[in-house]
Amino acid sequence: MHIMDSTFSNCLRTGVCLGAGVWLSFSAYAFTPNPTPEPDPDPPSNTGVIENGRYVLINRSSDTAMTVASGSLDNGANVIQQEYTGQPFQQWDVNNLGNGYYSIRAVHSGQSLDVWEWNGSDGADVRQWPYLNAENQHWKIESTGPDSYSIVSRFSDKAIDVVSAPSGDGANVSLWTFTSGASQSWKFVNAADVGNGSSDDGGDSDDDYYSDDTGTSSRPLLTTNQATRYTIRNYLAGAGSLASGLRTDNWNPTAGIGDVTQLNARYVVATSGGSHRTVQSAINAAVSAGGGSAINIEVKPGTYREVLCVPSSAPPINLYSLDTDASKTLVVYNNLAGTTRRAGVNTCNNSSSSTYGTTGSATVTIKANHFRAKNMTFANDGNENTISNGGTQGVAILTESDQVVFENMRFLGNQDTFYAKTGSEDLVKRVYVKSSYIEGDVDFIFGGATMVFDDCVVHYLHTRQGRNGGILFAPSTNSRNSYGILVINSRFTAQSGTSANLIHLGRAWDEGLSNTSQYANKVRSGSYPNGQLLIRETNMANHIRANDPWRDSTASRPYSASEGSYPANRFHEYHNDH
């Protein structure tokens, strides 16, 4: 098979095939799993030479270790050689697939060594990618001499090699025609024999290497090196289509909205009269006015019991109060997912169902890009006791748009308070929340959008849940998106009376999937929900579970920090204060 162009190559990798609908669901053919690989017409001549286990792969020519560059957790991160320092991104889980073929997966990410873009040429990149049981992720491991092995791709029959600057750190690992030379020979050193290091003692007693504390399998921590990639800037750098490539605009909203007293309000909302008595009527006026410049809407302190819809056709809007006490300016409504639908209440949700559902329950829905709000409260005060069908989800804020900014805001609810979605698994949309307060009890910050919570308070309410506990986050980030939810420089607090060691930090929302069988089928497509969440430099009260803060997914996929029957969960912490 000849790979004709990058579009077809992308089709092979993602299963998203473009061009007049010719290639429909190619992944059903390209990635159909084979629990036991089909017999190879030319199987390896020396099989079973490596036992299943965790190894450090040392190149014979350079005496350096096969390493995922910068310890990245990203899909498609490059593989290089580097001096071994005991890092988990320099260790590999090797598993015999049968008939002499192996999978080789990075310990820190659970992702597989992968022939990048199915490139069969000399010099093809080797990178990490979620394991799909495809031939470009199957490897022959054959003895080339005492304690030396070649690693040969089943797909191309080319060997993993270090060609450029073989004696230096950072040289690329790639594929070349097999020669059995030293640069294609690798030592498989049991990771337990060289140690993992510790931030406390600089290394295990049997090694000289240093590593940050990487936590435990049930509470994994990023190393300092890994954490450098997971910054506000990187989370918010790009948006758009995952299939065709994200648009990098390096959006930086960290300055916030600024001094709203300097804004010239085009519309003023007040319960006692302004240009408008309802917030929605002012939004409607802004939509009618249109244009590309931001329209400023000042909202006077008061309680506005209404549902807001900012449609996708709206121009950029700044919605704000001049009173810096955000509790004084309140937009609130009481729709829950199980509430019987009433005509005209939520114009952003046109479902014909008899009840609102989670999306339709939102008090405030933002579908327009470049929306910003400051000094206000958005709340859902629905009474769960009035619902008999289990639909107690009540969204306070829902975003389905890009470059949304909230500053000095309060978001109040119980289950599903803050919902940020993308509208399609192929899209990336971004929300930045600064110096704000979010409260709830179950999955109350959730969705598939890229979200950053900077200097925020995440407050748990125990009134409904009691000893049952609760869950803070439920991301549904697409597997192809490296950046889901970032919480940084924030505080996790709890309602008085909440028991210690009770609350889970989060679980993966396997959106649209109800069981593990459906999830496994979705994984084979190459595009599936696998929530990403990093909590860093954040203070957590003792209501958070200390040893096992992550819960099984909504589809009952067991939590695991490493690849197994399912892709590894993408939940991590870094330098938090407990």
pLDDT digits (tens, 9 = 90+) for 52-100: 889 999 998 888 899 999 888 889 999 999 888 888 899 999 999 888 8
Cβ contact 368:423 at 8 Å: no
Cβ contact 322:349 at 8 Å: no
Task: Decide: pTM greater than 0.85.
Answer: no
Task: List the structure tokens of 233.
Answer: 């800037």
pLDDT at residue 109, as a whole number: 87
pLDDT at residue 551, as a whole number: 98
Q: What is the mean pLDDT of the chain?
A: 87
What confidence tier does 346 reach under pLDDT thresholds 50, 70, 90? confident
Cβ contact 361:382 at 8 Å: yes
Cβ contact 235:452 at 8 Å: yes
- How far is the C-alpha of 24 from the C-alpha of 547, rounded, in Å? 45
Could you tell me which residues are beta bridge partners of residue 53? 94
Cβ contact 274:281 at 8 Å: no
Q: How far is CA 307 from CA 221, 334, 364, 577, in A?
A: 41, 9, 6, 38
- How far is the C-alpha of 10 from the C-alpha of 18, rounded, in Å? 9
Residue 31 has pLDDT above 60, yes or no: no
pLDDT at residue 248, as a whole number: 93
Radius of gyration of the chain (CA): 26
Residues 6+ apart with CB under 8 A from 105: 92, 93, 95, 111, 112, 113, 131, 562, 563
pLDDT at residue 6, as a whole number: 38
Cβ contact 355:339 at 8 Å: yes
pLDDT at residue 397, as a whole number: 99
For residue 116, give the DSSP letter.
G
The strands making up 317-320's β-sheet, listed across from edge to edge, are: 267-269, 295-299, 317-320, 371-374, 404-407, 430-434, 450-454, 485-488, 532-536, 570-574
Residue with more model confidence, 6 or 532: 532
Residue 180 has pLDDT above 80, yes or no: no
pLDDT at residue 491, as a whole number: 97
Task: List the structure tokens of 512.
Answer: 């649209």
Percent helix, strand and coil across the chain, each rounded to 5? 15, 35, 55
Task: List the structure tokens of 210.
Answer: 């240093």
**% residues pLDDT > 70 (the chain):** 87
Mean pLDDT, residues 528-552: 96
- How far is the C-alpha of 384 from the C-alpha of 382, rounded, in Å? 6
Residue with more model confidence, 120 or 62: 120
Lowest-confidence pick of 210-224, 252-266, 450-464: 210-224
Selection from 478, 480, 426, 475 nearest residue 453 by Cα? 475
- How far is the C-alpha of 134 from the C-alpha of 119, rounded, in Å? 14
- How far is the C-alpha of 477 from the C-alpha of 430, rounded, in Å? 12
- How far is the C-alpha of 147 from the C-alpha of 307, rounded, in Å? 69
What confidence tier does 213 reach under pLDDT thresholds 50, 70, 90? low
pLDDT at residue 324, as a whole number: 98
- How far is the C-alpha of 23 from the C-alpha of 11, rounded, in Å? 8
Mean pLDDT, residues 193-203: 43
pLDDT at residue 201, as a whole number: 29
Cβ contact 196:181 at 8 Å: no
What confidence tier does 275 reach under pLDDT thresholds 50, 70, 90? very high
Mean pLDDT, residues 247-267: 96
Secondary structure class of 79 (helix, strand, coil):
strand
pLDDT at residue 169, as a whole number: 67
For residue 520, give the DSSP letter.
H
Residue 204 has φ and ψ, to the nearest 5°, of -70, 165
Residue 348 has pLDDT above 70, yes or no: yes
Taking the alpha carbons at both ends of the chain, their separation in whole angstroms is 55
Q: Please give the torsion angle defined by the CA atoms of residues 264, 269, 275 and 276, in that order, rounded to the nearest 10 degrees.
A: 150
Mean pLDDT, residues 492-498: 95
pLDDT digits (tens, 9 = 90+) for 378-428: 999 999 988 877 899 999 999 999 999 999 999 999 999 999 999 999 999
Cβ contact 402:423 at 8 Å: no
Q: What's the longest Cα–Cα distance across the chain?
A: 87
Task: List the structure tokens of 196.
Answer: 């993992």
Give the other-Cβ count within 10 Å of 96's Cβ: 15
The tally of CA atoms less than 13 A away on the side-chain side of residue 153 is 30
Length of the chain equals 578
- How far is the C-alpha of 157 from the C-alpha of 139, rounded, in Å? 9
pLDDT digits (tens, 9 = 90+) for 556-574: 999 999 888 899 999 999 9
Residue 26 has pLDDT above 70, yes or no: no
Mean pLDDT, residues 294-300: 99
DSSP sequence for 276-341: BSSHHHHHHHHHHH--SS-EEEEE-SEEEE--EEE-TT---EEEE-S-S-GGGEEEEE---TTSBP
Cβ contact 411:431 at 8 Å: no
**What is the identity of the amino acid at 405?**
V
Structural domains in the chain plus CATH codes? 1-30 (no CATH), 31-214 (2.80.10.50)
Task: List the structure tokens of 446.
Answer: 């959730």
Residue 43 has pLDDT above 70, yes or no: no
Mean pLDDT, residues 204-231: 70
Residue carrying structure tokens 């598939």: 448
pLDDT at residue 168, as a whole number: 56
Mean pLDDT, residues 479-506: 96
Task: List the structure tokens of 174.
Answer: 């790639």
Residue 33 has pLDDT above 60, yes or no: no
What confidence tier does 8 reach under pLDDT thresholds 50, 70, 90? very low
Mean pLDDT, residues 39-57: 66
pLDDT at residue 545, as a whole number: 96
Residue 3 has pLDDT above 60, yes or no: no
- How far is the C-alpha of 55 from the C-alpha of 266, rounded, in Å? 64
Residue with more model confidence, 225 or 216: 216
Cβ contact 570:557 at 8 Å: no
pLDDT at residue 39, as a whole number: 46
The set of catalytic residues is 416, 443
Cβ contact 297:286 at 8 Å: yes
Residue 32 burial (10 A CB sphere; 0-12, 13-18, 19+): exposed
Secondary structure class of 225 (helix, strand, coil):
helix
Residue with more model confidence, 342 or 358: 358
